[in-house]
Amino acid sequence: MSINADTVKHVANLARLNIPEAEVGSYVDQLSQILGLMDQLNSLPTDDIEPMSHAVDILMPAREDEVVNGDNREALLACAPDSEQSHFRVPKIIE
């Protein structure tokens, strides 16, 4: 797979990143280098190696099914840019 200006814009749009037109070229170069590194890794024989899904070799910690949290509404709503009648208020989602 190769990276061009359209790929960069597409990925930026999915991630809601605003990339100025003048910087698109440098991201094409950087992302292409990263993919180049992947190609290098792909040349190694990995048939006998289990895929790794996490960088740290630990088991998943779990907790008991207990309610320990109370009502934090006021504190959490106060962190939001806008709230109204116990709800987070956001720009209109659908018309």
Partner 1 sequence: MPIDPNYETVIGLEVHTQLRTKSKIFCGCPNKFGAEANSQICPVCAGFPGVLPVMNREMVNMAIKTGLAINGQIKKLSVFSRKNYFYPDSPTGYQISQYDLPIVEHGELFIDLPDEPKKRIGVTRIHMEVDAGKSIHEGIVGASWVDLNRVGTPLLEIVSEPDMRSSEDAGAYLKKLRAIVRFLDVCDGNMEEGSFRCDANVSVRHYGAEKFGTRTELKNLNSIRNVMRAIDFEVDRQIDLIESGDKVVQETRLWDANKNISRSMRSKEDAHDYRYFPEPDLPPLTLEQSHIDDIKAKLPELPDAMAKRFQDEMGLSEYDAGVLTAEKEMSTYFEEANQIVSNAGKKNAKATANWVTVELLGRLNKDGLSIEDSPVSAVNLGKLVALIQTGEISGKIAKKVFAHMFDDGGDPEKIVAEKGLKQVTDSGSITAEVEKVLASHPDQVEQYRGGKTQILGFLVGKVMQATRGKANPAMVNKVLKEKLG
Q: Which residues bind partner 1 (CB under 8 A)?
A: 10, 13-16, 53-56, 58-69, 71-73, 76-77, 79, 82, 84-94
Please count the CA atoms within 13 angstroms of the CA of 56 that sit on its side-chain side.
4
The overall longest dimension of the chain from CA atoms, in Å, is 59
Closest contact distance (angstroms) between CB of 62 and partner 1 is 4
Closest contact distance (angstroms) between CB of 9 and partner 1 is 11
Closest contact distance (angstroms) between CB of 35 and partner 1 is 15
- Output 2 or 22, the one with its CB closest to partner 1: 2
Helices 24-42 and 5-14 pack at an angle, to 10 degrees, of: 90
- Output 45 or 91, the one with its CB closest to partner 1: 91
The H or E element spanning position 50 is none
